[in-house]
């Protein structure tokens, strides 16, 4: 079996944000699900954070350097009687942790500018008591071009 | 027009459960309770959806009201909706 070690910036960004959310004292007791591949069973009273990576797009290429934009989705879920309010309140904390982490990454590793895109609330309290508040984050970074030229 | 006797369908000796709408005075009625897990919130989670169906003429269930069924108490999640020619109604419940 071949083994691979990823050093891709997108993995490092994703891992840094997910790890920061898992460690954040403000979110103690709240499970953080990384790239969930199936729906998670939600029970009454549950809080949950999901982190999912999204497109990593090439935006510009100059010489041996390429600029890319990586989109990260971060969601806060609450299953409470006031699910919309509670999911939103937790998402404020989640946003702070994500923003802090991405700012640190920018400072330490030269990850470029960071843009918080739309925040989309999703209510499902017609059928159950539950709500999701989801944010998209665009992280711009640059890396050396990977060359697949003839040897 | 649906004219069958609904008590056959909402027989507590069969699939229905004796329920009481907690109003003043309380309103007894029989309803069919069911639950199913459904995917929701953009596919991130599954939640247990609890539903009740009952003869429309027997009770009017409004959002926030409480009903008891056996030892359980449920809160009505939204106003009842008529189904099947209006003779039956349906709504969703959550644990009170």
Q: Is A150 domain-assigned?
A: no
CATH number for B27: 2.40.10
- Is residue B38 in some structural domain? yes
pLDDT tens-digit series, residues A21-34: 999 999 999 999 99
CB spacing of B48 vs A130 below 8 angstroms? no
pLDDT band with cut points at 50, 70 and 90 for residue A151: very low
Q: CB of B34 within 8 Å of any CB in chain A? A: no
Indicate whether B81 pLDDT > 90: yes
Residue A151 lies in a domain: no
Question: pLDDT band for position B47 (50/70/90)?
Answer: very high
ipTM: 0.81
When divided into structural domains, chain A yields a total of 1
Helix (H, G, I), strand (E, B) or coil at A38: coil
Average pLDDT over residues B28-46: 94
Closest chain B residue to A41, measured at CA: B46
The answer as to whether A126 is a domain residue is yes
Asked if B28 and B18 count as a contact pair (C-beta separation under 8 A), the reply is: yes
B60 three-class SS: coil
* Distance from C-alpha of A10 to C-alpha of A69, rounded to nearest angstrom: 9
Lowest mean pLDDT among A87-91, A103-107, B11-15, B18-22: A103-107
What is the residue range of A94's domain? 9-37+44-144
Q: Which chain B residues are Cβ-neighbours of A40 within 8 angstroms?
A: 44-46
Full residue range of the structural domain in which residue B30 is found: 6-95
Number of separate domains in chain B: 1
Chain A and chain B share a number of CB contacts under 8 A equal to: 63
A70 located within any domain: yes
pTM above 0.80, yes or no: yes
Q: Is residue A3 part of a domain?
A: no
Q: Does residue B45 form part of some domain? A: yes
User: What is the pLDDT, as a whole number, of residue A147?
Assistant: 60
Q: At A85, which CATH number?
A: 3.30.2000.10
Domain-located, residue A140 = yes
Q: Average pLDDT of A86-107?
A: 92
Tokens, residue B72: 């359980």
Check: CB of residue B2 under 8 Å from CB of residue B9: no
Q: Which residues 8-67 on chain A approach chain B with CB closer than 8 angstroms? A: 36, 39-44, 48, 50
Under the banding of pLDDT at 50, 70 and 90, the label for residue B37 is: very high
């Amino acid at each position: 079996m071949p083994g691979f070690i990823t050093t891709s910036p997108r993995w490092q960004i994703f891992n840094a944000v997910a790890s920061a959310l898992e460690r954040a004292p403000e979110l103690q007791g709240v499970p953080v699900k990384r790239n969930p591949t199936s729906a998670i069973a939600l029970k009454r009273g549950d809080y949950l954070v999901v982190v999912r990576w999204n497109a990593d797009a090439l935006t510009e290429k100059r010489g041996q350097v390429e600029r890319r934009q990586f989109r990260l989705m971060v969601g806060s879920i609450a299953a409470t009687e006031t699910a919309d309010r509670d999911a939103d309140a937790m998402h404020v904390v989640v946003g702070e942790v994500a923003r802090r982490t991405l700012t640190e990454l920018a400072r330490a590793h030269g990850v470029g500018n960071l843009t918080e895109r739309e925040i989309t609330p999703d209510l499902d309290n017609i059928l159950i008591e539950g709500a999701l508040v989801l944010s998209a984050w665009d992280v711009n970074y640059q890396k050396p071009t990977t060359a697949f030229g003839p040897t | 027009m649906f004219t069958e006797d609904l008590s056959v369908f909402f027989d507590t000796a069969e699939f229905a459960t004796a329920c009481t709408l907690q109003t003043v005075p309380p309103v007894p009625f029989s309803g069919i309770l069911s639950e199913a897990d459904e995917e929701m919130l953009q596919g991130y989670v599954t939640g247990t959806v609890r539903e009740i169906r009952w003869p429309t003429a027997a009770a009017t269930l409004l959002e926030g009201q409480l009903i008891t069924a056996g030892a359980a108490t449920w809160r009505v999640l939204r106003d009842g909706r008529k189904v099947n020619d209006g003779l039956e109604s349906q709504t969703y419940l959550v644990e009170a």
